Amino acid sequence: MGLVDLIEHIGEHGQWREQVEAIVLLDDLLQRESLLAGEIEEVEPAVLTVQQARGEAPLPDRLFPAVEHERAPSVEADRLWEGYFRYVHGLGRARGSRFLVHWVGFEVALRNALAASRARRLGLEEAGYLVAPDLAEAGEDLAPALGEWEAAPTPLAGLRAVIRARWSWIDRHDAWFSFSLDELLAYAARVMLLEQWRRSAEKDDRAS
């Protein structure tokens, strides 16, 4: 079952679909970012339209929450990620989803750790590249994942290191056999990661 199939399968359950789409939207935005950067040529969005994923149509308003914070990112792409994470965090709190709230916390912490590492390599100020730092999950040990990513010989190997770190986090928070919405959300996050791994394998095959 792919991401589009999963979303269609739960289409009758409005709140379920809303939260699953919130997670899957991360992958759509990553694809959009890669396309606009010239890293890929095609996109396979599950929530966004193809035009939105290609930067040819406006993104959903929910990605631009009407709230103000003391520090807004200066880079446009980072402002989009700030809006995304705040939207999903707010949705998780409103719906009482423990998984969604903690998933955002991990994703923010991981994303900011990677951004800070890149900034250090380039001799830039780390703080200027962090998004929604107040949402980052405290106490996450990201050192192993960050070390593997920094030591990766190619960008593709680095991507796979990040996917493995995300999968490992889900293993620790998946509410297995709880038959709850949180278990469904963990399943959706796993399907998303499998899709990302599939695309990375296809890219590796094309390069060989």
Q: What is the pLDDT along the chain (208 residues), one digit of tens a residue?
A: 789 999 999 988 888 999 999 999 999 999 999 999 999 999 999 999 999 999 999 999 999 876 555 565 657 788 899 999 999 999 999 999 999 999 999 999 999 999 999 999 999 989 888 999 999 998 889 999 999 999 999 999 999 999 999 999 999 988 665 667 899 999 999 999 999 999 999 877 666 5
- Number of independent structural domains in the chain: 1
Domain that holds residue 174: 3-207
Report the pLDDT value the prediction gives residue 202, as an integer from 0 to 100.
87
In angstroms, how far is CA 27 from the centroid of its own chain? 6
CA dihedral 61, 92, 117, 43 (to 10 degrees): -50
Q: Give the contacts of 182 (CB within 8 A, at least 6 positions apart).
A: 97, 98, 99, 100, 174, 175
pLDDT score at 109: 97
Query: How many other CB atoms are found less than 10 A from the CB of residue 98?
Result: 15
Predicted TM-score (pTM) above 0.85:
yes
> Which residue intervals of 37-136 are DSSP H helices?
50-53, 76-95, 98-122
Q: Give pLDDT, residue 139.
A: 84
Distance CA 24, CA 187 (A): 11
